[in-house]
Amino acid sequence: MSIPQNLNHIKSSLPEHVTLVAVSKTKPVPDLMEAYNAGQRIFGENKIQEMVEKHDIMPKDIQWHMIGHVQRNKVKYMAPFVSLIHGVDNFKLLNEINRQAARYRRTINCLLQIKIAEEDSKFGMTATEASEILQSEAFSELQNIKVVGVMGMATFTDDTAQIQKEFTSLKNTFDVLKAIETPNCKLEIISMGMSGDYKLAIDCGSTMIRVGSSIFGERNYN
Ligand SMILES: *Cc1c(COP(=O)(O)O)cnc(C)c1O
């Protein structure tokens, strides 16, 4: 199927409260434009440089989401335009995002990445760490960021029960953290679910799915 067909197929199956992030990493701009012309306005990238390059040449009504691991020294490149950073997993990074957002007189929305997978390779903080950060005085001083939700990545496995357990743990963490409401923290988004598991993620409470290969086809990393 074509990119617009894939996109429409997925969108038609989504409940209204679920937002689709079209994950376009490694894909060329003409592919993204096909999705754009079919109505898609939210794109997710996992490399800052690639996102900046695409942002520079593509229409300005696109919302760019950074879904990958973020290196602190590169935040400055996306600070002028990024609309949501999914993978925030430590306070120093929040602090740098705040500093760069202030330079552009913006507020940058962030999700805290919670570690739900059993694999060691996945980034993220524990629910306790997240809770401590959100209630700290240092956090309350960050006026140019807003924490609007949580993000998680399940273990790469065929074991559906395992994935379901991990998604459910993220939903539970969200429910606990949601009680913490401050001027720069109001949790509304649960970012979980990719091409292979977004239906399960939605059943477990996801409000934002990040889908790449089911829209754009398999990625080629050569
Ligand atoms: C690549 C990526 C996705 C999309 O993966 P697909 O399996 O192609 O849908 C989602 N989330 C993150 C963090 C990614 O890096």
Instruction: Render pLDDT for 119-131 as a digit per residue (tens, 0 to 9).
Output: 776 789 999 999 9
If 0-12 CB within 10 Å is exposed, 13-18 middle and 19+ buried, where does residue 164 land?
middle
Name all residues whose Cβ lies below 6 A of ligand 1. 23, 25, 46, 67-68, 153, 194-196, 210-214
Task: Compute, in angstroms, the gap from residue 211 CA to the centroid of ligand 1.
Answer: 6
Alpha-carbon distance of 121 to 74, in angstroms, equals 21
Task: Compute, in angstroms, the gap from residue 194 CA to the centroid of ligand 1.
Answer: 6
Task: Compute, in angstroms, the gap from residue 140 CA to the centroid of ligand 1.
Answer: 31
Q: What is the DSSP letter of 116?
A: -
The pLDDT of residue 118 is: 84
The pLDDT of residue 3 is: 98
Q: Is the pLDDT of residue 209 over 80?
A: yes
- Cβ neighbours for 168, distance < 8 A, ≥ 6 positions apart: 204, 205
pTM of the model: 0.97
Quickly count: other Cβ atoms within 10 Å of residue 194's Cβ. 19
The pLDDT of residue 84 is: 98
Q: Is the pLDDT of residue 221 over 90?
A: no
For 3-216, CATH gives 3.20.20.10
